[in-house]
Structure 1
Amino acid sequence: MIKKFLAGIVLLFSLAITAQSGTSSPYSFYGIGDVTFKGAAENRFMGGVAVFSDSIHLNLQNPASIAGLRLTTFTVGGTNSRNKLVTNTQEGKASRTSIDYLALALPIGKWAVSASLLPYSSVGYRTQSLAQNVNETSSRFEGSGGLNKASIGTAYRLNNRWNIGANIEYNFGEISTSSYEFLPQIQLGSREKNLSNISGVTFNTGLMFQSRVNNKFDVFGSFTFTPETKLTLQNERTIATVTSVNSSGTDEIKVDVPDTTVNLPTKFSFGGGFGVVRKWLIGTEITFRKSGNLGSRFADINNVGYENSQKYAVGGYFIPNYNAYNGYFKRVTYRGGLRYEKTGLVIAGKSIEDMAVTAGFGLPLGTGTFSNINLGAEFGRKGTKAAGLVRENYANFTLSLSLNDRWFVKRKYD
């Protein structure tokens, strides 16, 4: 029953993932877009902390974690984002609903294998400047698309303390950006459209540690490493005359622009945690990325640079009594965390920073089952109003479903 359900879900959501816009940030114009992936919901609600190997939940940040699974696990998550954009002179609101990930993992003794599909970065913005009189120019800028990752991975449980794992990820996607300009006293306007098709392969490795202290407390450790990868961009540019931003355009001219490569920089993370398994945990994690190697899709994008980035996260969870037979809320998992990130994007000499507070709940789907629904929220701020830039105040509301079952067990009765 659950296998048929999963097959339908996988088909439906895999189509939706590749056809969505997961951001409304004007900063998504730069590079390969706004990196929207922040991990599975269970980790995201803890500020992004993913330092332990869970026996019933997928950890999508460290490939070694799936070696700790005891049941076949399927998970899917989505987010509704509400964004308030503020400058020194204007403000506006935008919202998006998107699918965050789709993943399946299967334990096979000490081994485990996994497959996932997720949108890694998104482009989605629309800004305009309307003429206030006949002597002023009107302009509009918009973009869509992003980078997706299809991943397969494996992990191995070396012993009761150490897990190792690795993923291979195929990156693919399309980014489309358009700019419109309408000059005063001229009947037709102009449109420049840029299209980039992206492809490349990424490797991700991980190591996880867990040990018992004084026969009561558990200590956790996590390390991941992703080497630098080159993405290939096949670029196209067209220029056309238009009567409005909604017209198809006439006299379209194709402009020769070179294909380019963009680096996904070297990234590594490490973290640790302390607590009691299935009771409580407090953890922290640090991620470093050499964003100085990133770069733009086209050589004529000015006023932007890149620097090394860092992300700091702290968070944890608490379960009053995971196997309580009465009192539903005793079995609920309560999560919370904080996150600060220096994104590596530098515009007009200003570093773009992102910070947020997170909280969420894991709700069991009944007694005697390990499946659950996860609900949570993330409230944060990104960017700055300085130098004529945009500050984003955002609220992200996330819902995920985690289903667990035992596969390949020979039945005694049919």
Structure 2
Amino acid sequence: MFTRFILLFSMLLFAAPSGIAQEGSSSPYSFLGIGTKAFRGTVENRSMGGLGMFSDSIHLNLKNPAAYSDLSLTAFTAGATANSVELKTTVNSDNINYFTFDYLAVGLPFNNLGVGFGLKPRSAVGYELQEITPERISRFEGRGGLNTVYFSAGFEPLKNLRLGATANYHFGDIENKTVIFRDRVQYPSRELNFSYINGFSFEAGGLYDVKLSNSLTLKASGRYETGSSLNVNRRRELATIQIGRDDSEIVVNEIEQNPADTEIDLPEMYAFGLGLGQDRKWFVGLEYENYTAGDFSSLNFNFGTEVIQKEASALRLGGFYIPRYNDPVSYFKRIVFRAGIRYEETGLEYKGEDINEFGMSFGMGLPAGRLFTNANLGVEYFERGTISNALIQENFISVFLSFSFNDKWFIKSKYN
């Protein structure tokens, strides 16, 4: 067992630099604040519209810590996504493809207690924009984002009632660059802003089941995340530059500044949901999330008067169906079929337009290898933004895949 722990920690350490270094976005809206939302749940969650209220004995639900108390086997899971995005305006369009690491997580059961830890992204920044006016040309570039290392625990104090909590440590760096070419000015000017961000937030969750009959179960869920302040250490470089033949930037004069450290405020979140289902057969649920307005105004180099951060919300409807989970002959009947839809008001208003999302998703849970080891595959189409007021609409097709491995680690010895 000790060897297994060493292996899991080694994998987390190996994955951490990849999570930190990746540019998990190509969205122009990641220019604003700390970037776009990077974690949307496990593949199982996302295939059901992002629904975070269902738990079972072999899958990890990273959205509600109370779900850890349902684990009966040690679970290890990792997920990734391939994204194809069409960026569309009123006059033209472009296509971008990119790949992201989504999460790496471990869950361990101990009687009525379950614990878990892992790594997942919080936000992602990755954009290249250009603005042209008669007097100047402005180029904007950004990369980076925040990652989260978390520890969760869930337990069952009363029959059918599970409670849980999570401690998150967020960390990461964001680099924003602006290059301006002015008419009748010999050298372009360049501004580089480096933001190093870290801090804690905390979550709590609950799940409750009510047996309506021998076959039907009503499930209720609730989640809460604190609105926490994160520390921001900043550095700024101002320079005049020349552009080389290979489009490289050659510094002519440079000044480095160290603005005062500051803070940003993550939004407070609460969510609740209701669902109905038959154990190991089918389930359908509806969940509502609400976020207070976050405060990223201290990152004033990319948060001007045209940007308003306000209350956000999400409505999710999803579920699954299993023809026959323990069929001894038919592989097809043991497949889990998932589907869902979602509508999200992101809380971002830019140039007077609300930047919202609508998505539809489908997925399958495929038994693989041993009885309780499986692969989960999903696909989602969703839209973000609008072409109104000279803005950009993003049309995503995301294909996501995860593998879940299960084993029983803690077995009491029957012999001395």
Structure 2 equivalent of residue 239 of structure 1 = 238
Structure 1 equivalent of residue 295 of structure 2 = 294
Structure 2 equivalent of residue 399 of structure 1 = 401
Amino acid at match of 1:96: Y
Alignment of 1:164-179 (within 5 A): 164-179=163-178
Q: CA deviation at 1:182?
A: 2.2
What is the SS of the residue equivalent to 1:158?
strand
- Cα distance per residue 1:30-66 (max 9 Å; x no partner): 1111012111110110001121221110001111111
8 Å CA contact 2:45–2:52 kept in 1: the answer is: yes
Structure 1 equivalent of residue 226 of structure 2 = 227
**TM-score, normalised to structure 2's length?**
0.93
Match of 1:45 among 26, 36, 47: 47
Structure 1 position 328 matched with structure 2 position 331: yes
Amino acid at match of 1:332: I
Alignment of 1:280-319 (within 5 A): 280-291=282-293, 293-300=294-301, 301-302=303-304, 303-319=306-322
Structure 2 equivalent of residue 384 of structure 1 = 386
Q: CA deviation at 1:376?
A: 0.8
8 Å CA contact 1:32–1:297 kept in 2: the answer is: no
8 Å CA contact 1:295–1:305 kept in 2: the answer is: no
- List gaps (5 residues or longer) in structure 1: none
Q: Quote the Cα distance in structure 1 between the aligned partners of 2:139 and 2:200.
A: 34
- Cα distance per residue 1:264-292 (max 9 Å; x no partner): 1210000011011111000010000002x
- Cα distance per residue 1:178-215 (max 9 Å; x no partner): 01122345553221111111111101000111122211
Alignment of 1:91-110 (within 5 A): 91-110=93-112
8 Å CA contact 1:148–1:171 kept in 2: the answer is: yes
Q: Which moved more, 1:40-49 or 1:236-245?
A: 236-245
What is the SS of the residue equivalent to 2:384?
strand
Structure 1 equivalent of residue 158 of structure 2 = 159
8 Å CA contact 1:52–1:221 kept in 2: the answer is: no
Q: Quote the Cα distance in structure 2 between the aligned partners of 1:348 and 1:257.
A: 28
What is the SS of the residue equivalent to 2:99?
strand
What is the SS of the residue equivalent to 1:53?
coil
Q: CA deviation at 1:248?
A: 5.1
Structure 1 position 344 matched with structure 2 position 347: yes
Q: Quote the Cα distance in structure 1 between the aligned partners of 2:408 and 2:251.
A: 56
Match of 2:65 among 63, 66, 70: 63
Amino acid at match of 1:111: L
Structure 2 equivalent of residue 375 of structure 1 = 377
Identity of aligned residues (%): 38
Match of 2:30 among 14, 28, 31: 28
Q: CA deviation at 1:17?
A: 1.1
RMSD after superposition: 2.1
Residues 258 and 119 of structure 1, relative CA distance in 2, 3 Å threshold: same
Q: CA deviation at 1:222?
A: 0.7
Amino acid at match of 2:194: L
Amino acid at match of 1:238: E
What is the SS of the residue equivalent to 1:9?
helix
Q: CA deviation at 1:137?
A: 3.6
What is the SS of the residue equivalent to 1:65?
helix
Match of 1:17 among 16, 19, 25: 19
Structure 2 equivalent of residue 359 of structure 1 = 362
- Cα distance per residue 1:86-145 (max 9 Å; x no partner): 1223322222211111110101011111101110110011123579xxx76433211011
Q: CA deviation at 1:9?
A: 3.4
- Cα distance per residue 1:212-243 (max 9 Å; x no partner): 22111111111011121011111111111222
Q: Quote the Cα distance in structure 1 between the aligned partners of 2:412 and 2:67.
A: 27
**TM-score, normalised to structure 1's length?**
0.94
Q: Quote the Cα distance in structure 2 between the aligned partners of 1:223 and 1:304.
A: 31
Q: Quote the Cα distance in structure 2 between the aligned partners of 1:9 and 1:363.
A: 24
Structure 1 equivalent of residue 81 of structure 2 = 79
Aligned length: 409
Residues 344 and 107 of structure 1, relative CA distance in 2, 3 Å threshold: same
Residues 248 and 98 of structure 1, relative CA distance in 2, 3 Å threshold: farther
Q: CA deviation at 1:82?
A: 1.3
Q: Quote the Cα distance in structure 1 between the aligned partners of 2:402 and 2:166.
A: 22
Structure 1 equivalent of residue 137 of structure 2 = 138
Amino acid at match of 2:394: E
Q: Quote the Cα distance in structure 2 between the aligned partners of 1:343 and 1:311.
A: 8
Q: Quote the Cα distance in structure 2 between the aligned partners of 1:151 and 1:6.
A: 15
- Cα distance per residue 1:161-189 (max 9 Å; x no partner): 10000011111110101011223455532
- List gaps (5 residues or longer) in structure 2: none
Runs of 4+ in 1 over 6 A off after TM superposition: none
What is the SS of the residue equivalent to 2:54?
coil
Amino acid at match of 2:325: Y
What is the SS of the residue equivalent to 2:152?
strand
